Structure 1
Amino acid sequence: MGHRPAPDRHRVWAETDVFNRQQARYNLTDGSPAGEPLFNEPVHLQGDFSSTRNSLQYHLKDTWTLLDDRLRLQFGFKSLHLKYRIEGYRNAGDYINDRQPRLATQWNDAFLPQAGLVYNLTDDTQVFASYSENMALPRGADDIFRAASPSAPPPEAERAKNYEVGYRINRPTFNAAWALYRTDFDNRLQAFASAVPGSSQVETYYQNVGKVQAYGTELSGQWKPPVLADKVVLNGNLTYNTSTFRNDAGGLSIKGNEVPDSPRWLAQAGVTYELAPWALLNFSARYIGERYSNFTNSESVPGYTLYNAYLDLGGERLHYGPLKNVKVRFNVDNLFDKDYLGYILTSTSGPAVFRPGSPRTFQSTLSMEF
C-alpha cells in the first residue's frame, strides 16, 4: 500500500469574457432594402449594451493508490468565483427613460467537492465511480438582466450534483465502457417562449424551474477486427436518458414531466477504413429519438437518423517543402438529404416553433504546419 500525490494537484484558472451587442433598426436610403442605413433616423432601438463575465477557479486534487496500485482514489475540490456585469441601454424601456443602468452581481462557492475511484479487477478490466458538485453562471444571463427591472434581485446560480458508476474493458483490439449516471440540478433555468401579440414572432425568456433530475445509462465501445488487417475500426455509442422536472413552475403543473427537447434515446455508430497510410474513409450514423417540444408534454417530435461521411487525405507523412503534416478533409453531412426538424424553440403548453435541419452539406478543409 502507498500514497502517491498527483503531479497536477493545484490549478488556477482565470477568464474574462466581454460581449457587446447593439440591436437597432434604422431607415434606409431611398427606402431600398439595399440602401445604406440612416443612423440619424432610428425606427426602433432595442438594445445597445455590453456584458462582462469574470471567472476565477482554484482546483486542488490529490490521488491515493492502495492495494498494490490496484485501487486509485482521487479527492479534490473546486473553489469557484463568478462575477457578472451589464451596462448600457438594455431594452426599449431604458431608451424611453433615458437611463443606462449598470447592474452587477456575483456568485461564490469556496468548496465544490469531487471524488472518484478506479479499481483494477484484472489487467484489462476496471470498475469506476465518481461524485462531483458544480456551479454555473445562470444560462441566458444577458436575456434575464435585459428584461429585469434595475432593482430586481439577481437569479440564483445553477447547481448540479453528479453521480456515476461503471465498468470498462481495455484490450489491444477492443475496448468498451458501460456507465450508470444521475444528475440532480438545482435552480435550473429553462427557456420559455411565448407569442408576441399581433405578430407571428415569439419571445424567449428564462425562468427558474427549480429542481430537475436526469438519470440514465451509456454504453460505448470500439473494435478493430484483426481479420481485416487492422485497417477497419468500428465504434458505437448508445445512451438512454430521462430528464424530468421535480417542481411546478411558471404557473404550470409540470412536476414529473420530461424536460422538452431531451430525447430518451441517442445512438451513434461509425466505421473507419484505412484505404492507404495517407487516406482514411469514414461513414457514420446518428440517431436522435422522439422528444417533447413543450413543458406540458402535449406535443412531441419524431426521432430521426442522419448519415455523414468524410475522406481524409495526407497527414503526418505528407510534406511539401516547408509545409508539414498537410491534410485535406472532404465532409458530406446529411448524406441522404433527409428532411428533419433540427431545432426546437420550446413552448410552455401550446405548439412549439421549429426550424428545419440542414440539407445535404459539403465541406472541405485544408490544414498544415509550417
Structure 2
Amino acid sequence: MSKSTPLNADGVAMCSHPSSGERSKGTLAKAAIALVLAGLSFESVAQDSGSGMEVFETFTAVGQGESRANNSLDLEALEIAMPGALPEKMVDKIPGVNVVTRDPFGFYEFGNDIRVRAFNISNLGVTLDGVPVGTSDPRYGSPIGRLVDSQNLTTIKVSQGAGDVTTPAYQALGGSLQYFTKDPSKEQGAMFSATYGSFDHISLFGKYEMGEIAPGFTGYVSGSHFEFTPRGLDGLGKGMARRYEAKFKYELPSDKLDITYAVTYNDRDDFDTAGLDWQEWQDAEAGNYRGTGFGYREYTPWDFPDMPGGSFQYGDLSDQGRNLGPVKYIDSSVGAGEGVNAIYYDKWKNGRMDTLQRFKFDFDFEPGKSMEVVTYYQDKNNYGLWGRDQAYAQTQVRAAYMNDPSRTDIWGQMWYDAAGNAIGEDGSIVTEYGDEHAIVAPGTPTYAPGVTFVPGVPGRTARDENFGGHRYGVTASYTWETENNKLIVGGWYEFDHHGTERPNFNLDGGSILGAYRYDQFNFTNYTRYIDQDVMQFWVQDTWTTMDGNLEVIAGVKAITLDRDANGFLSISEWLKNEETFRSTKYEDMFLPQFGLLYTVNDNTEAFFNYSENMATPNSGTITTAGDTFDPDILKPEYSENFDIGIRGNIGSSSYTLQAYSVSYTDRILSVPVPIDSPNAGAAGNTRYQNVGGVDSWGIEASGDIKTGIEGLSFSGSIALQETTFQEDLLDSVVRIAAGDPIPTAGEGYRVASTSDPLAYEIYQDISGNDLGNTPFLTANFDAIYTKGNWKFNFGGKYYDDVYVNTLNTQPVDSYTIFDGGIAYTGASDTPLEGWKASLSISNLFDQYIWYARSYSGTSGQVLADRGRNVALTLSTKF
C-alpha cells in the first residue's frame, strides 16, 4: 500500500497549474497556440463504424457512429507502446487522457494517476469484454492490469465525456474505458516474445492458438512473466508479475448463439515507492535538503543521525532524485537504528492474486433481435506488508489490556508480581498499563527475585495485511432494431464481498530480517468486512430520421447500491473489543442521457451529447468515518456532462474536434466536522461529507495525416482544459478563550465566525483555484515511417505545469518528453520469416523531469522521472 498522502475521496487529485494570478499571464497565449494547433492536429480512423466514412489503417480510431466524444486504440497495430507497459499506461495517446505513473511501466498500482478530463480512474466506468471491474481502486477493486495481458488486447475504447447508459458502473461520473480481448484464431499456431531492457526489465510472453478444435470451437492459452527493479532497490528486490489466460469460443452451427469463456489468473508482487514533499524537493533543488546543507546526494543514518523529520527521511537522492526508494539500512548500531530498521524495504511490499472467469452469450434470435449476456466470477487474495517498531506495538498491547484485562487474543501478557503489582522489565513496581509496564511471553512466571524477564514484544514487529474477497454478477442487454429505430433494454446485478484484516505480529528474534511469527499476534488495526449489492437498469432508444442523416439517441439508467460493513472498523474498536455494524443505501432511478448524431456528408459527421451521472461514495466512507458516521447525510456525487464536436476525413487524413463542459457537484472529502454540527467534538473530529463542486471545460482535437511520402504518416492530439473549485474547503475549527483576539489565517486561508462566539472555522480559500495534475494544455504527436520490412517511429508529449496543492502555491513545471523506436520484420520466404526485432526507447533524450505524485490541501508530493528506458524485443510466430 502506498505510504504517500492519499488521493482525496472526491476522486479528483488535488493540484493544478498556475494560480489565478499567474495563470492569466500565459493562458491566452497557450489557448491561441492550442487553437491553431487544433486546426493542424489530426488523429486516425482505424475501424469501420458503419458511418460510410472512409477508413484508414493506423493505430488509433475516431469513434464514428457515436453521439459522444469517442476514440480507441488498435493495439494490434500499435507498435509504439513500450514493451511491458500495462494497459493503464497505453491510453495516454488519447486526447483528453493524461497518465502519470511512478515507474516506466505503470506497474505500481497505488502510484498510477489516470485522468480523463476532470476525473481520475476511480470515477470512470471500466470494463473488460463487457465485465465491469466495479472500481479501479487498488485496495477495494481491480485495476485492469491485473485482469488481462496487454498482448491479448485488440482494442481499448475511450469515451471521454460519458459512457452510454448501458455501461455497468456505479462510480462513473465521467467517461468509460472499455478493453476488448482478441478472439481465438481458427488457424493453429503459436507465438513467443522476449524483452530485455533498462532497470533489469524482462518480459516474456507465449501464446498457443489451438485452431478449430471442433467445428465452430476455437481457443487459445497464454502465459507471461514480467519483472523489473524498482527505483532504489538495485540488487535487493524486484517487482514481478505472472499471468495466465485462456479463451474459448463456440459458434453454434445455427448461427443463433455464440458462447465465449475466458479466464485470467494473475499473481503479482511490488514494492511501495517513495517521493518527496514539495518543499523538500525545493530544498534539494536549492542544495539544502532538510537543512543538511546538501542537495542531490544519498542520505544515510550514518551521515545524518539526527536528521529533522525522523528516520523515514533517509534515502538516496543522487542523480537528481531518480534513485529515491524504500529505506534499505539495517545496521541498528549506528544512526537512527530503530526507526530505520522498522521500515526496511522488505516490508514495503504488496501482492495481488486474482482469478477472473467470465462467460459471454451472444444470441441472434432473428433479424433485428439480439441479446448479449455476460456472467462473471472473480476471486481476490491480496496482501500488504509494513514494518512497525517495538514501542508502537507495546503501546497498543497495553491499551488493549487496559480496556479489557480478560482478553485472550493477544500473545504477549502484562507482567505482575505475586502481590498483583504491575512490574517493569527490571522488576520495579510501575504504573499499570503505563509505558514501563512490562509485556512478557506466555509461560513467563509471576515476577519474583531471580525470575528472568522474557519479552512478549522482543523487538521490531510488522503487519501482514490480508484483503480481498470475491464478487460475481451478470449483465444482459436486449436489442430490437427496425428500419428507423433501435431499442436497447438491459440491466446488471453484482454482489461483492470484500474483507480486510490488518494484524501485527512479532518478527523472529525481534529483527526486521526475521520471519513473521504468526503465532505471536500483537494487535490489529482493523478487521473490515463489506458486502455490497448493486443493481442497474437501462433503456436506450435511437431514432433515425432525415433520410438516415440524423440519429436522435435518448436513454435513462437507474442505479441502486446497498452496502453493509461489520467488524473492528478502527483500532479504537479493537482496543475496546467491540465490533460495529453499519449499513448504507444509495440510489437514483432517473439518470438521463440525450444525444444527436448528424451526417453532414459522406466524410463528415457532427455530434452532441448530454448526460447526468452519479457515483456512490466509495467503501472507505463506511469503514473509516469513526463515531461521526451518519448514513443519512452523505450524498452521492453527481456530474453533468456536455459534449459537442465534429469529425471526418479530409482527403487522405482524418480528424476530430470536440468541446465539452462538466459540472461536478457534491464531491466527497474527509474533512473536519463543522462546529455547528451535532457531531462536532466526536472522536477524531473528522467525517466524510459533501463539500462543493468543480467546473471544467475543454477543447480537444486529434487526427492523422497521410503524407505524400510513401510510408510516412503523422498522428497527434491536443487538449485544453480548465478545471476549478467552486467552493472553499473547511480546514479546521479553532476555539478561543473569552477575551482572546479573533484568530487569524495565513495566506490562502480565511476565518469565518460560527454560532458559538468562541469558535471559528478556518477555510482554505480555494474557490476559483485549479485541480491537481490537470494541465491546461497537453499535446501528443507521433511520426511513423515504414520502408520495406523496417518501421521507424518518433513521438513526444507536452504536459503543462500543474500544482500539487489546492492552495495553488506549489507548482510543478511543464515538460516535453520524447520517445522513439525501430522495428524489423523478417521478409517472407527467407530464414527470418516469422521473426521480428524491435527497439523501443522512452524518454529518448534522458531528460530530468519531476511529476506530481500526490495531492493535499496545503502540501503535496513530487517524484523524479526514472530516466531513459530502452527495451529490445525479439518475437516469433510459428
TM range, smaller chain:
0.7 to 0.9
Q: Name the structure 2 match of 1:92.
A: 571
Flag structure 2 segments of 5+ consecutive residues without an equivalent: 1-481, 673-685, 731-762
Q: Does 1:210 align with 2:719?
A: no
The alignment partner of 2:629 has SS state of: coil
1:360 CA displacement? 3.1
The alignment partner of 1:228 has SS state of: coil
The alignment partner of 2:525 has SS state of: strand
Which residue of 172, 176, 189 maps to 2:668?
Answer: 189
Mapping for residues 18-167 of structure 1, pairs under 5 Å: 18-43=497-522, 45-138=524-617, 141-149=618-626, 152-154=629-631, 155-167=634-646
Q: Name the structure 2 match of 1:301.
A: 812
1:161 CA displacement? 0.5
Greater length-normalized contact order (CA 8 Å, ≥ 6 residues apart): 2
C-alpha separation in 2, matches of 1:78 and 1:329: 46
The alignment partner of 2:764 has SS state of: coil
Which residue of 212, 225, 228 maps to 2:709?
Answer: 228
C-alpha separation in 1, matches of 2:528 and 2:664: 31
Q: Name the structure 2 match of 1:219.
A: 701
Code of the aligned partner of 2:855: T
After superposition, the Cα gap between the structure-2 partners of 1:207 and 1:5, relative to the gap in structure 1 and judged at 3 Å, is same
C-alpha separation in 1, matches of 2:687 and 2:785: 47
The alignment partner of 1:118 has SS state of: strand
Moved over 4 A (4+): 190-193, 204-207, 310-315, 325-331, 362-370
1:215 CA displacement? 0.7
Code of the aligned partner of 1:10: V
The alignment partner of 1:106 has SS state of: strand
Instruction: Give the conservation status (yes or no) of the 8 Å contact 2:625–2:687.
Output: no
**TM (normalized to structure 1)?**
0.81
After superposition, the Cα gap between the structure-2 partners of 1:345 and 1:43, relative to the gap in structure 1 and judged at 3 Å, is farther
**TM (normalized to structure 2)?**
0.36
Determine which structure has more spread, i.e. the larger CA radius of gyration: 2
Q: Deviations over 1:202-237 (max 9, x none)?
A: xx9965331111111111111122x222x2331111
Q: Name the structure 1 match of 2:861.
A: 353
C-alpha separation in 2, matches of 1:12 and 1:134: 16
Instruction: Give the conservation status (yes or no) of the 8 Å contact 2:804–2:852.
Output: no
Which residue of 780, 789, 797 maps to 1:268?
Answer: 780
1:366 CA displacement? 8.4
Instruction: Give the conservation status (yes or no) of the 8 Å contact 2:695–2:724.
Output: yes
Instruction: Give the conservation status (yes or no) of the 8 Å contact 2:628–2:687.
Output: no
Q: Name the structure 2 match of 1:258.
A: 770
Q: Name the structure 2 match of 1:175.
A: 654
After superposition, the Cα gap between the structure-2 partners of 1:206 and 1:105, relative to the gap in structure 1 and judged at 3 Å, is closer
Q: Name the structure 2 match of 1:198.
A: none
Instruction: Give the conservation status (yes or no) of the 8 Å contact 1:332–1:361.
Output: yes
1:326 CA displacement? 8.9
C-alpha separation in 2, matches of 1:111 and 1:59: 10
After superposition, the Cα gap between the structure-2 partners of 1:159 and 1:329, relative to the gap in structure 1 and judged at 3 Å, is farther
1:289 CA displacement? 0.8
Which residue of 236, 244, 266 maps to 2:724?
Answer: 244
Code of the aligned partner of 1:338: Q
Code of the aligned partner of 1:300: P
1:185 CA displacement? 0.7
Code of the aligned partner of 1:296: L
Q: Does 1:288 align with 2:796?
A: no
1:186 CA displacement? 1.1
C-alpha separation in 1, matches of 2:578 and 2:522: 19
Instruction: Give the conservation status (yes or no) of the 8 Å contact 1:220–1:237.
Output: yes
After superposition, the Cα gap between the structure-2 partners of 1:148 and 1:312, relative to the gap in structure 1 and judged at 3 Å, is farther
C-alpha separation in 1, matches of 2:670 and 2:843: 28
C-alpha separation in 1, matches of 2:562 and 2:536: 12
Q: Name the structure 2 match of 1:322.
A: none
Code of the aligned partner of 2:666: N
1:23 CA displacement? 3.0
Q: Deviations over 1:7-66 (max 9, x none)?
A: x61232333444333334322112222211123444553233233444322221111122
Instruction: Give the conservation status (yes or no) of the 8 Å contact 2:643–2:660.
Output: yes
C-alpha separation in 1, matches of 2:496 and 2:783: 39
C-alpha separation in 2, matches of 1:208 and 1:365: 49
The alignment partner of 1:359 has SS state of: coil
C-alpha separation in 2, matches of 1:331 and 1:83: 47
C-alpha separation in 1, matches of 2:557 and 2:825: 42
1:103 CA displacement? 2.3
C-alpha separation in 2, matches of 1:356 and 1:191: 29
1:173 CA displacement? 2.2
C-alpha separation in 2, matches of 1:362 and 1:181: 37
After superposition, the Cα gap between the structure-2 partners of 1:365 and 1:27, relative to the gap in structure 1 and judged at 3 Å, is farther
1:244 CA displacement? 0.9
Instruction: Give the conservation status (yes or no) of the 8 Å contact 1:23–1:47.
Output: yes
Instruction: Give the conservation status (yes or no) of the 8 Å contact 1:334–1:358.
Output: no
After superposition, the Cα gap between the structure-2 partners of 1:272 and 1:189, relative to the gap in structure 1 and judged at 3 Å, is farther
The alignment partner of 1:259 has SS state of: coil
Q: Name the structure 2 match of 1:321.
A: none
Which residue of 299, 317, 338 maps to 2:847?
Answer: 338
C-alpha separation in 1, matches of 2:616 and 2:840: 35
1:296 CA displacement? 1.6
Q: Deviations over 1:235-283 (max 9, x none)?
A: 1111111111111222322212112332111211112333546x64433
C-alpha separation in 1, matches of 2:535 and 2:712: 44
After superposition, the Cα gap between the structure-2 partners of 1:309 and 1:186, relative to the gap in structure 1 and judged at 3 Å, is same
Which residue of 469, 485, 493 maps to 1:5?
Answer: 485
1:176 CA displacement? 0.9
Q: Name the structure 1 match of 2:275.
A: none
1:130 CA displacement? 0.7
Code of the aligned partner of 1:153: D
Instruction: Give the conservation status (yes or no) of the 8 Å contact 1:143–1:206.
Output: no
After superposition, the Cα gap between the structure-2 partners of 1:334 and 1:210, relative to the gap in structure 1 and judged at 3 Å, is same
1:128 CA displacement? 1.4
Instruction: Give the conservation status (yes or no) of the 8 Å contact 1:217–1:240.
Output: yes
In terms of mean alpha carbon deviation, does 326-335 or 15-24 score higher?
A: 326-335
In terms of mean alpha carbon deviation, does 19-28 or 90-99 score higher?
A: 19-28
After superposition, the Cα gap between the structure-2 partners of 1:249 and 1:332, relative to the gap in structure 1 and judged at 3 Å, is same
C-alpha separation in 2, matches of 1:331 and 1:44: 49
Instruction: Give the conservation status (yes or no) of the 8 Å contact 1:192–1:346.
Output: no
After superposition, the Cα gap between the structure-2 partners of 1:189 and 1:330, relative to the gap in structure 1 and judged at 3 Å, is farther
The alignment partner of 1:282 has SS state of: strand
